[in-house]
Chain A
Amino acid sequence: MRGSDDTGASGPATARAVTAWSGIPLRDYFILPLLSIVTVVVLFIVAEAVTRVVWYEHEDNACVIPGDGYQIKPNCTARTKSAEGRWATFRFNECGYRSNTSCGPVPPGTLRIAIVGASVSQGFNIPYEDSYFALAATDLGRACGRPVDVQNLGKPGSSPLYTYRRIDEALALKPDLVLMLLAPFDIEQQIDPHELAARNEAARPPKPQAVRETRSLLRRLQLLITESRTVLVAEHFLLQNRDTYLRLYLNYGDKADFLRQPFTPAWKQRFEDVDLIMGDMTAKIHAAGIQFVVMPVPSRAEAAILSAPHVPPGVDGFAFGRELENMAARHGAAYVDLMEPFSKIPNSQDLFLIVDGHVDSSGQKVMARALTRKLLDGSFPAFSGCALPPDGGNGRAVVTP
């Protein structure tokens, strides 16, 4: 292309329109930048179209009752697929719990586990057969020689306070134990102090009406880009690299401060709130003569830190788990250590959906294995006399000895 005459001065008429010092017609000062912008837009549209086909996503809200909160229709089935994950079928029983069995009275000879918590507890975007609770139930059933029934009350987006309010619902199921999973992002939102203070009141304080955000054109454009599939796919590849992911994640500020020691005042407050809730929750569950198990689920960032050879000073991948362990010990709840098994797996950050951040099907096996081992360690009367299957159970594929 070099050397070609690009002054645009091919004839007398054109020559008049060409500025002497620039060598291009005046109109090109508008046309060329516009062409660039149009090209970028067209590229984006093409990329979005391609990624939407290749990285298909399907959100099925057929089972969600519109209105306040996340209420599930009884006996409903939905099929969803996240862009990074596989198709997952969600079957909800007559109580709206993710379970293949009825929430009615516990059949004789059957052990029942009630799970509470948020998306991680529910097995969000994970096919039922791959979920930690289905795998654990199968292993426990084999270990004990009797069926283990799981009633999963987990609801995406549930705060610890919301989970606490549903404890009575869980206890009404007459389970042998109640299991609560907590990930760092479950406690990220600061709990309203008034709501926290009124946690034991029968009538819930009215929820503030959601304020409809007025979005400027720029904000809408920003959302269009950040929420696009193209950006998701780009992030997926960018964040595959552990070092890049960690470097970017640690820049998040408050969101990432649970990884730093000492905790910031904001995170100290969050832990204090969770501590208060966990104390009340444990007391209620124990009062019903039921055991309570707390299982912290590492975030992808924690997993990356746990398996990284070098971490920046002041960063501690075990901090969140240690905090919950101390809380559980203070209140007499049992604790399943997931940090340790994740730390022993090389590149354990690969056990997560990269952008979505939830544990993937491989990671579910690690969770199932740790849960099964804990429940069979002899400290749970309901599972006394049960022994781990000789083949190691469902988690064996990815778990180190």
Chain B
Amino acid sequence: MMGSASLQFVAYGLIVACVSNLHRSVAWRQFVLLAGSLGFLAFFSLDPLVFAPLAVFLGFGFCGVRIIQFRDKRAFVPLLCGGILAFVWLKKYAFVPSATYLSHPYITLGLSYIFFRVLHLLIDAHSDNLPGKISVPSYLNYTLNFTTLVSGPIQTYQDFAEMQLAAPPRPLSVAIAGHAIARIVIGFFKVNVVSLFLSMGQSTALAAFGPNLGSGQKILTGAAIAAIYPLYLYANFSGYIDIVIGIARFLRIELPENFDRPFSSKSFLIFWNRWHMTLSAWLKTYVYNPLLIAMMRRWQSSTAEPYIVVFAFFFTFFLIGVWHGQTSVFIFYGVLLGLGVSVNKLYQILMMKWLGRAKYNSLSRGLLYGAVARGITFTWFTASLLWFWSNWVQLAALAASLSAAEIAGVWAVVLLASTVVLAIYESARDWLLSFQFEERPFLTSRYARTVWCTIVTVITVTTLTLLNAPAPDIVYKAF
């Protein structure tokens, strides 16, 4: 089986890209991408039966889009509900009776992301937002594109079609190729070196943690266990995204960004505009906005309006949490995410009411306020993630090892450390970017990037050679 961020995956992607660039015609690019995507799936199994449920789901989606586009728009709601139920059933959510599960083993790799794409097509077909009739190859390439299959990013069909179906393909100059290679190199480094070491660090801290430690050690070890995970997840997931963005660029496809320095966010609301951005955008378009509009139509009151917004935020982010997994921990994870954004929104509303917009904005621009806000955002995300990477038994074991005061100590340390470290990081970054070259920050010039990529390559090659360990898998592959 091919690792999602392994050297084999990169090599495979680049080979497919090379073949794709042999001819500029749309048909050739479509054919190569489809063959590449099916070939990628074949690395996971050669038994056609294990792909049958996925194929049926894809077929359902395609027929649904065609029916809504050209036959009967009234079929939209049943098709949408059918798609959601099929997804929940295939993913074996805990509340689905196990007696209904398929007995034959099957692959659900990428199903969550295919689900988002299929739903997007059904909804946009219903609102006539699709650019005409979708052919089978275009549909399959959009849903199965091997660069986005495993863990996204979630691209809209309109964006995808604009590039994939355009007669002149997206330009690919040496400078663009250089950028793409840099993305792959840095992404590979993030997944195979940074996330590997962070994962090892968290495992070491977990192994060292126990009731026998002194109170101070317990607090520090507990803080390390909690705080390392978001950094690990970021390196792992954003690294993978960097790799696929780089590979896709050689296929003349510009994938959307999925991360934008999320830990620099001064609020949980901003954080979700910078973390798994395409998922947030999808939910904003297809859940938050329709829900908000529907609720505002239902309760037309200016007093209720802010609280409707708060509720819509809670519900949307609760869904994000629930989407991540099939068990009850993910319901709690969803509640925490929902609480994070909704309390954040409520705080903004109340502060603006109390101080006025100008004063509140002025307060938000303060250095100390910003640093603490970043710390709180990181700490809340870190706390939420406990329900992401562990289960109730592990959580109970961790909690049993700590007194209430020690638990408070752990979060105080995480908050303080993240506040200070992120503030230093932001200041250092601003200072480094202040050096200009050719009217732009020197650090973003191709010269600085060449040096950085070379360093990263040397470190990656050395680490992989010396550790002789397989590449860590991508966390989001499981969803």
User: Interface on A for B, CB 8 Å cutoff?
Assistant: 1-2, 4-8, 10, 14, 21-24, 28, 31-32, 35-36, 39-40, 43, 234, 237-238, 241, 244
Chain B nearest Cβ from A309, distance in angstroms = 18
- For A32, the chain B residues whose CB sits under 8 A away are 178, 446-447, 450
B175–A4 touching, CB < 8 Å: no
B440–A238 touching, CB < 8 Å: no
Residue of A nearest to B171 (CB): A23
A244–B454 touching, CB < 8 Å: no
Is B194's CB within 8 Å of the partner chain A? no
CB-contacts of B430-457 with A (<8 A): 438-440, 444-447, 449-451, 454-455
Given known contacts A28-B446, A31-B447, A43-B458, A6 and B465 CB-to-CB distance under 8 angstroms: no
Task: Report how many A-B pairs have Cβ atoms within 8 Å.
Answer: 71
Instruction: Give 28 pairs: A residue, B residue, CB < 8 Å, sorted on A.
Output: A2-B179, A6-B175, A6-B179, A7-B173, A14-B438, A21-B173, A21-B174, A22-B175, A23-B175, A23-B176, A28-B446, A31-B447, A32-B178, A35-B447, A35-B451, A36-B451, A36-B454, A39-B451, A39-B454, A40-B458, A43-B454, A234-B462, A234-B466, A237-B467, A238-B465, A238-B466, A241-B468, A244-B468
Chain B nearest Cβ from A304, distance in angstroms = 15
Contact flags B124-166 to A (C-beta < 8 A → 1, else 0): 0000000000000000000000000000000000000000000
Is B182's CB within 8 Å of the partner chain A? yes
- For B449, the chain A residues whose CB sits under 8 A away are 1
Residue of B nearest to A35 (CB): B450
Q: How far is the CA of A234 from the CA of B245 in the complex (A)?
A: 32
Is B183's CB within 8 Å of the partner chain A? yes
Chain A nearest Cβ from B449, distance in angstroms = 6
User: Interface on B for A, CB 8 Å cutoff?
Assistant: 173-176, 178-179, 182-183, 245, 257, 438-440, 444-447, 449-451, 454-455, 458, 462, 465-468
Residue of A nearest to B182 (CB): A1
Q: How far is the CA of A35 from the CA of B467 in the complex (A)?
A: 28
Residue of A nearest to B180 (CB): A2
A238–B468 touching, CB < 8 Å: yes
Residue of A nearest to B447 (CB): A35
Q: How far is the CA of A8 from the CA of B257 in the complex (A)?
A: 23
List the 4 closest pairs (A to B, CB-CB), nearest first. A23-B175, A22-B174, A23-B173, A39-B454
Chain A nearest Cβ from B430, distance in angstroms = 16
A43–B450 touching, CB < 8 Å: no
Residue of A nearest to B175 (CB): A23
Q: How far is the CA of A164 from the CA of B446 in the complex (A)?
A: 66
A10 partner, pick from B175, B245, B438, B447, beta carbons under 8 A: B438
* Other A-B pairs beyond A1-B449, A32-B447, A43-B458, 5, CB < 8 Å: A7-B175, A8-B438, A22-B175, A24-B174, A43-B454
- For B175, the chain A residues whose CB sits under 8 A away are 6-8, 22-24
Main secondary structure of the interface of B (DSSP, over half): helix
B444 partner, pick from A1, A7, A237, A244, beta carbons under 8 A: A1
Q: How far is the CA of A40 from the CA of B457 in the complex (A)?
A: 10
B173 partner, pick from A22, A43, A244, beta carbons under 8 A: A22
- For B445, the chain A residues whose CB sits under 8 A away are 6
- For A10, the chain B residues whose CB sits under 8 A away are 438-439
Residue of B nearest to A34 (CB): B450
Q: How far is the CA of A23 from the CA of B178 in the complex (A)?
A: 10
- For B465, the chain A residues whose CB sits under 8 A away are 234, 238
A2–B438 touching, CB < 8 Å: no
Residue of A nearest to B246 (CB): A2
- For B179, the chain A residues whose CB sits under 8 A away are 1-2, 6
Chain A nearest Cβ from B170, distance in angstroms = 13
Q: How far is the CA of A36 from the CA of B175 in the complex (A)?
A: 16
- For A43, the chain B residues whose CB sits under 8 A away are 454-455, 458
A237 partner, pick from B176, B447, B466, beta carbons under 8 A: B466
- For B257, the chain A residues whose CB sits under 8 A away are 2
- For A24, the chain B residues whose CB sits under 8 A away are 173-175, 178, 446
Q: How far is the CA of A7 from the CA of B445 in the complex (A)?
A: 10
- For A234, the chain B residues whose CB sits under 8 A away are 462, 465-466
- For A8, the chain B residues whose CB sits under 8 A away are 175, 438, 446
Q: How far is the CA of A288 from the CA of B8 in the complex (A)?
A: 67
A23–B174 touching, CB < 8 Å: yes
Q: How far is the CA of A10 from the CA of B439 in the complex (A)?
A: 8
- For B454, the chain A residues whose CB sits under 8 A away are 35-36, 39-40, 43
Q: How far is the CA of A1 from the CA of B458 in the complex (A)?
A: 21
- For B174, the chain A residues whose CB sits under 8 A away are 21-24
Q: How far is the CA of A237 from the CA of B465 in the complex (A)?
A: 9
Given known contacts A23-B174, A32-B446, A39-B455, A4 and B440 CB-to-CB distance under 8 angstroms: yes
- For A14, the chain B residues whose CB sits under 8 A away are 438
- For B451, the chain A residues whose CB sits under 8 A away are 35-36, 39
- For B450, the chain A residues whose CB sits under 8 A away are 32, 35-36, 39
Q: How far is the CA of A35 from the CA of B445 in the complex (A)?
A: 13
From B173, B176, B183, name the one whose CB has the most chain A CB atoms within 10 angstroms: B173
Chain B nearest Cβ from A117, distance in angstroms = 34
Chain B nearest Cβ from A227, distance in angstroms = 18
Chain A nearest Cβ from B83, distance in angstroms = 33
- For B183, the chain A residues whose CB sits under 8 A away are 2
Q: How far is the CA of A235 from the CA of B126 in the complex (A)?
A: 62
Chain B nearest Cβ from A206, distance in angstroms = 46
Q: How far is the CA of A85 from the CA of B176 in the complex (A)?
A: 50
- For B447, the chain A residues whose CB sits under 8 A away are 31-32, 35
Q: How far is the CA of A23 from the CA of B176 in the complex (A)?
A: 8
- For B468, the chain A residues whose CB sits under 8 A away are 238, 241, 244
